[in-house]
Structures are given as structure tokens and as C-alpha cells.
Chains A and B, each alone.
Chain A
Amino acid sequence: MSDIPGGPMESRPVHFIWILDCSYSMLGEKIGTLNYAIREAIPEMQSVAHDNASAQLLVRVLTFSSTARWHQAQPVPIDDFTWQDIQVDGGTNLGAALSLVARELETPPMPQRALKPVLALVSDGQPLDEWRAGLKAIDATPWGKKAVRVAIAIGADADRSVLQEFLGNPELPVLDANSPKQLAAAIRWASTAAVKAASQPVAGGAAGTKQLGPAFAPPKLQDDDDDVW
């Protein structure tokens, strides 16, 4: 319909940012499963995006270890997104990663016309830097305040209190992934449910009103007694 007044129309973007722990403690099966799980989740993310034509799903990937760096810096449409394996390297500088994310959540570079971004944090350890400063920077951005956040704790050594603080909502639980099977399920859930939640209207939110409960809830992951981290 070319004669519509006002010019072209298009669906709004959902910016999905993976924030992935690549510290040495992820070495071995954990990083292998994470790479596998995200690669396997891409078709499901594509399927969610196709089912929701009113949203353009754009993906970025940030890794953190001794430093934080963009593994996929430019937002890529999910249909064009391919997974390049990530490698382990050094410590757990979560604060550096969150600070980098905060810069991307400013407007600009984020457009005002968008759906809520999704921040998906995956970690198996305890931060070694001033992570609260990074979290505060995210919370200070307009889009950071509104972001749909999911957190996946890999194994028993993950600092769940940090991840809970990242979520910023006591009603939203950290998703525990204590085995390869659970991690794959958690990644699958985070890849899809969070995108759906980001594109749902929510009453409340603004001008002093409280958000009325979590828009989505993580699944109960099946135990996997044979292979536990």
C-alpha cells in the first residue's frame, strides 16, 4: 500500500543481547553445551520471530572474562544470525560487560521506537570486578529500566544473589542449570519466552505505578541426576 499517508511502516525492533560468561571456570563441558544450546536455539528464535510479525528480532552477543567484548557487535536480524563458538579466557568481569551493555541502551544508539530489549545473562561464577557499577549504569538508562531480563546460573558455584540483583525483581527467579540438559532447556526458554514477553503490552510501568507482576515465569527444569555440574 504505497499511497498511505505518512510514509513507510515497519515493525518495531526487539533488541536481544546475550551476555555470556566465558571465564576459565566455563572450560570443558559447560562452554561446549552453551555453544551447542545457543546454536540449537536459533531456529526456535526464528520461529518465534516469524510468529510475531509485529517485532523484528535483532540479536547481539557480548562475552565477558578478564575483559568484556562484543562477539556480535551489530544487531543482526535473527534470520541472518549464525552462531560462532565462543572460547573461555580469564576471569569473571561482569561489571565491564554490564557497562558495555549500558552504553548500547542509551538513546541513541537505541532508537526510541522499539519494543523492550531483552538482556539474557548466563554465568557460572562470581564477579571479580565492580559489577554493581555496571548494573547501576544499565538501570540508569531508559531502556535498561524497561528491559526484560533473564538470568541463568550454571552449576553450584554461580553467584545467584548477583544474578537475582541483575533481574531487579524478586518475583523473577534465576533459572538454575545444573546439567547440560538443563542448560539447553534454559537457553531454549530464554531465547523464546523472553522475546514474547518483550512484545506484550503491560499496564502500569510508568509514572509511579508499579508493574503488575512478572510478565512471564521460567519453567521448572527437569532434574538430570546422571550429569550434574
Chain B
Amino acid sequence: MSVPPHWEILHESVRGPGKAHNQDWYDVDDTVDGTLVLAVADGHGSAAHARSGLGARYAVDVFLHRGREFAARARDSGDLRQLHRDACGRVPREIVRDWRDRVERHVRKEPLDGVPKGGELLAYGTTLLGAVLVPGLLVAWQLGDGDLMLVEADGRIRAPLAPAEPELGDETESLCGRQAWDLMRVHWAPVSDPARLPRLLTLSTDGLSKSFAAQDGFVQFVREVDERLAAEGAEPIREALPGWLNHAGSYSGDDTTAVAVWRRPDDAGPSEGGPEAVPSEDGPQDQDRGTESD
């Protein structure tokens, strides 16, 4: 019987200064078998996206549902090839379809005044960033802005879902966009050696990374959080996190949300179980950062 890794989970979301509602949403599902499903979403927030807080909530709910299903398939099946196809093709389509269904149901219940038919999705526009971690496999999905950061077991810091070209300004891709599933970026990382699981995984809305004055400020933030976690443990960071996010919000003007999962240095992770690892794999790798369409 394998021992599931013990993940410390830290999370916080703060409302932007002067905003009536926080239009970010997040959730984490941490099961006893070592499966983690986590997501954050950032509703666009301006007048054209009046229900984007709800849209963000739907996005996270939908992701957790589909993420749990994916995790169950990953635990039950050793077929990495099929799981990879699912991650790149099926899951993005399911997420977008489910989100649209939820939005359309809500619009039927509470119609939007003055919005032409077909234009309702815009009001609920949101980004989505989510990850599923099961023994032997880490998969993450991203649509729109926000940041997924990994601190690997050897201390390297990576942003595997960062776009090839940095996005300028505040325009973002969105679940309300046309064929949004095609714009979803996917990080696929089988982990054959449990000791090589990332030791820290963070998901955050763009309000955090865009607040740093220095170009590498956010990477430095992740590095220092990792160091402080190792030195002080999770509790001091958990206590400080709301203050940090509020501070960031005062510069970005945005709602700010961060979810982090941290594996203690003495936790090597599960020793077996999960999808069959690729023999040649010696650590997490990006096998596909794009999406498949069918």
C-alpha cells in the first residue's frame, strides 16, 4: 500500500480596493488517496462582464467536477496515452461545454436585460486555471491569464503554462470566447519517481504577478515563499498570505487569489500506484503544451 503525499494547502482570495464584489473564485479538493484537484478563476469584472463573479464560480465548480473524473480515470487506468488524449482534447471541451450549460441555465432563470440573444456569455466571462495531481501524474489547464508556478523537487522554478510571448496589457482569453477549448493550454507531466514530485505548486490570478515592480518579482516571490515554507513551515505563510494579497491588490487594483500546495521536505510522496509511469521518464516534463481538437 502506498503512502499518499501530505500536501499542505494554503489559499486566500481578497477583494480589489474599491470593488463591490470579489470576482475571483477558487476551490481545492484534497482526498485521502493523495489526489489533489484545484482551480482558480478570475471573472473579468468590468461593466461588460457584470456576472463574471458568477462565471468564475461556475468555472471552478465545473473544473473540480471534471478534474475529479479525470483523476479517477488516471488512478484506475495505466493508459497514459489515452489520458494524454483526454487531457488535451476531451477535458477542455467538457469544461467549456459544462460552463456554458451552467451559464445558459442561469440566464434562463435570471434573464439579462438589454443583452442580445447569444451575447449573454460575455457577461459571465472568466479565466480558468486548474490542476490535477494524482500519484504518477500532474496535469494542468489554463485559459486566459493567471499564473501556475512549480517549484520542482530540485528547486527549479518553472511556469510551464506561461505563453510563449508575454501578454501585454489586460486583455485575456476567456471561457466566453469562441471555441474557447482550442485556447486552453495544457501541461502534461508524468512523474515516474515520486521523489521528483514538485514540492510547491501555486495557482494565482494575474493581480498578484502584475503587482511586482521588477520583471522577475513574481518568480522571486515564489522562490522566497518556497524558502520560507522550508524554514518556517506553512503556518506563518498562511497567516501572512491575506496581507500580501491585499498589498498586491492595492497596486493592481484587482481581486487577488492564490492557492498553493506544498509538500514537506521529508515527504517523498507515494511509492507506487497511479498511472503506469513511462520508463525513460526521470522527472516532470512538458509533453504537450497545446491542445487537440477533434
Contacts and interface: CB of A to CB of B under 8 A. Distances in A.
Contacts of B172: 201-203, 205-206
Nearest to B125: A203
B253 A55 contact: yes
Interface residues of B, number: 46
B44 A201 contact: yes
Which of the listed residues A7, A9, A204 has the most CB atoms from chain B within 10 Å of its own CB?
A9
A3 to B, nearest CB: 8
B171 A206 contact: yes
Interface in B264-290: none
A54 B252 contact: yes
Interface in B202-224: 210-215, 217-218, 220-224
B253 A11 contact: yes
Interface stretch (B59-67, B95-103, B240-248): B240-248
Contact of B44 (A142, A203, A207): A203
A203 B251 contact: no
A112 B224 CA distance: 23
Contacts of B252: 11-12, 54
Contacts of A114: 168-169
B213 A9 contact: yes
Contacts of A212: 48, 122
Given A1-B247, A201-B45, A209 B178 contact: yes
A115 B167 CA distance: 11
B236 to A, nearest CB: 10
Interface residues of A, number: 37
Given A5-B220, A6-B220, A54-B253, A203 B166 contact: no
A4 B168 contact: no
B210 A146 contact: no
B196 interface: no
Nearest to A4: B244
A54 B210 CA distance: 10
A202 B48 CA distance: 9
B12 interface: no
Nearest to A56: B251
A113 interface: yes
B168 A53 contact: no
B225 interface: yes
Contacts of B221: 4-7
Contacts of A7: 212-214, 217, 220-221
Interface of A: 1, 3-12, 52-55, 112-116, 142-143, 146, 199-207, 209, 211-213, 215
